Amino acid sequence: MYRYGLEPAFWLKLVMLIVIVLLLWVSLNTIMRKWLHVERQKFFSYNHVNEKHKNIDWVIRITTMISILIGYGINITREVSNWYWFLQPWFILIIYVIASQISRAVMERKYAQNPNAYKVTISEILFLLILYFMLFKTDFLGLI
């Protein structure tokens, strides 16, 4: 039996997985930005295209926070085996990321100075979706 329910190499595998995912993400982002001649954004900053985009983004963020709280409130009253999967935080966060990125792509398509900026955002959305399904359908590529 593993101590605390984790196998001994769990943390090493998790760190490896995170490093691989980040390396793939940064590589894709760099290649797409150079190929499409789009400026690199600051790391961990969120640049809104315009004020309308900022307002839409905040509506999405607040809706996400409220959804997580309501989902928690509903699921906590039920048996763990009967929790609604669509009210789980992981699912709500996936929807948030997709909605946020799609709104960013739409705003970049309509209002950005560089007409190729939205293509980079769409490639990021596709990368995240492919990565999500690949990792969860293959048990994190056999690492976990």
Q: Is the pLDDT of residue 42 over 80?
A: no
pLDDT at 1: 52
Number of domains into which the chain is organized: 1
Q: Calculate Rg over the CA atoms of the chain.
A: 18
- Nearest in space to 29 (alpha carbons), one of 111, 137, 123: 123
Helix (H) or strand (E) holding 102: helix 89-111
Q: Are 102 and 125 in contact (CB under 8 A)?
A: yes
Give residue 27's pLDDT: 93
**Would you state the pLDDT for residue 43?**
65
For residues 56 and 74, the answer to whether their CB atoms sit within 8 Å is no
Q: Which domain holds residue 99?
A: 3-142
* 0.75 exceeded by pTM: yes
96-124 pLDDT tens trace? 999 999 999 999 999 988 888 899 999 99
